[in-house]
Every structure is written in C-alpha cells, then in structure tokens.
Amino acid sequence: MRVNRSFGYLLGMDNLTNPSIDNDALSEIIQEGLPPEFDDPNYSFTSDKTPFGLDDLHLDDRFQGLFQEITASILQYFSNMAFQKAEYYISKAWATYTKQKQFIATHKHVASHYSFVYYVQADEEIHSPITFYEPAQGLRVPESKIWNADNYRSLKIKPKTGLFIMFPSHVEHGTEEMAETDVARISISGDIVITAEGGHKTEYLLPSPSTWRKLNGPVTH
C-alpha cells in the first residue's frame, strides 16, 4: 500500500496481484448479473442502487478471495492513522460497469468514513481516469504554467486491472466520459465505517454495533 498526501488527506493505492484473485472470473460474475434492461447511454451501471445479486459483495462467497486482500490493504492504510481502540467495518460493496460514452458523475459518499475502489477490468490506455477534487477550494487562483503537487486542484489516476484505491468518503470524485471501445471498465467499490472498540466508550466516535439496540414496531406519521 502506497500512501500519498493529497489536498491534506491520505490517498492509498495498492496493486493486488495475489493469485487468489481471479479477475476474469469476477468480471464474468458481474457481467452475468447485469440487468437485461441496463442500457443507459450516459451513466454507468452501479449495483448498489438496485438488488440484482451484485449488492453486498463483501458478504458474497464468490468474492471472498478478493476481499481478503482488500482487507489487508485497508488495515495497512489505517496503520498510518494510529487510531486507538477502534473497529473497522465494510458497510457495503457494489459493482460498477461502464461502457463507451458512459461516465460516473462527480459525487461523494455521505454514509461512511472512508471508501475504496478496486478495478476488476481496466486498461489505462483506453479507459478514462478517476478524478479526485480538492475538498475546499476557496477563492480561485490564477492558471499556472506548470501544474504540480503544490498547486493542482484535482488529481487524476489512470485505472488498470488490480489497482486498489482508498480515500476519505467526503472527497468528491468521478470519471470522464469513456472513449469508444468494446471493452467495459469493471470495478468494485465499497464504504468503510469506523466505530469505537467493543466495550470502549467515547463521546466523539460511533459506539460498537454490539451495543446497539434495534427499535422494533411501527412508526406512525
């Protein structure tokens, strides 16, 4: 896991190459799970919006080899934070399938602390990059002749098969329209929630789910 500081936050990148990850098999599973009516000319298909058997991939036995490697990278990323008495949960994970002329609109994840993306099938030569934007841009500055790490306001990363990227969920990101190609870009994204360690009480962190109590019964309006 390579960790870079961009715009004041940590951006983690790793190349997951363990033989236990069969990207061809995962691509086939995802493509077989696409809904037949999926034909939006603009936007990528994301399986977190509709349950087509491709939601909650972190709990799917067919993806466990991948998520073992993802878990190792996530914990390595958090080792840089030195958080104390904390627990980490993947709260959701889903597939994204992008065809030519489609794109992912700029967005952020509002129900998690950190997020990630893993590229199951991607080619940096033909597939559009993922772009991360400076969280708080403030007043505009003049254009620069030479853009570098000291003055850029966005960061583009070219996708490739096996690339894993982790970032704070509040950072806005998206992709450009993909060029004309018969090869789809396939990725798996997920969200991570941090809570206090079980039995440890703190006022500024979510308590462990082991201490939660579900409220059953109807809610009247």
- With bands split at pLDDT 50, 70 and 90, how would you rate the model's confidence at 81? confident
pTM of the predicted model as reported, rounded to 2 decimal places: 0.86
pLDDT digits 0-9 by tens, 24-71: 999 999 988 777 666 665 556 666 555 556 778 999 999 999 999 999
> Cα–Cα distance between 16 and 20 in angstroms, integer?
10
- The pair phi, psi for residue 92, each rounded to 5°, is -165, 155
- pLDDT the model gives residue 119: 96
- With bands split at pLDDT 50, 70 and 90, how would you rate the model's confidence at 138? low
- Joined together, the tokens standing for residue 187 give 């990725």
- pLDDT the model gives residue 62: 94
- pLDDT the model gives residue 64: 95
- pLDDT the model gives residue 91: 94
Among 187, 191, 55, 190, CA closest to 120: 187
- With bands split at pLDDT 50, 70 and 90, how would you rate the model's confidence at 148? low
- pLDDT the model gives residue 186: 93
Strands (E), 73-202: 86-98, 114-121, 130-133, 154-157, 163-168, 173-175, 185-196
More confident residue, 31 or 162: 162
CB 102 within 8 A of CB 186: no
Q: Domain 2-136+147-211 is of which CATH architecture? A: Sandwich (2.60)
pLDDT at 126 over 80: yes
CB 197 within 8 A of CB 86: yes
> Cα–Cα distance between 211 and 183 in angstroms, integer?
47
pLDDT at 149 over 70: no
pLDDT at 16 over 90: yes
- pLDDT the model gives residue 82: 73
- With bands split at pLDDT 50, 70 and 90, how would you rate the model's confidence at 145? low
- Joined together, the tokens standing for residue 129 give 């990059």
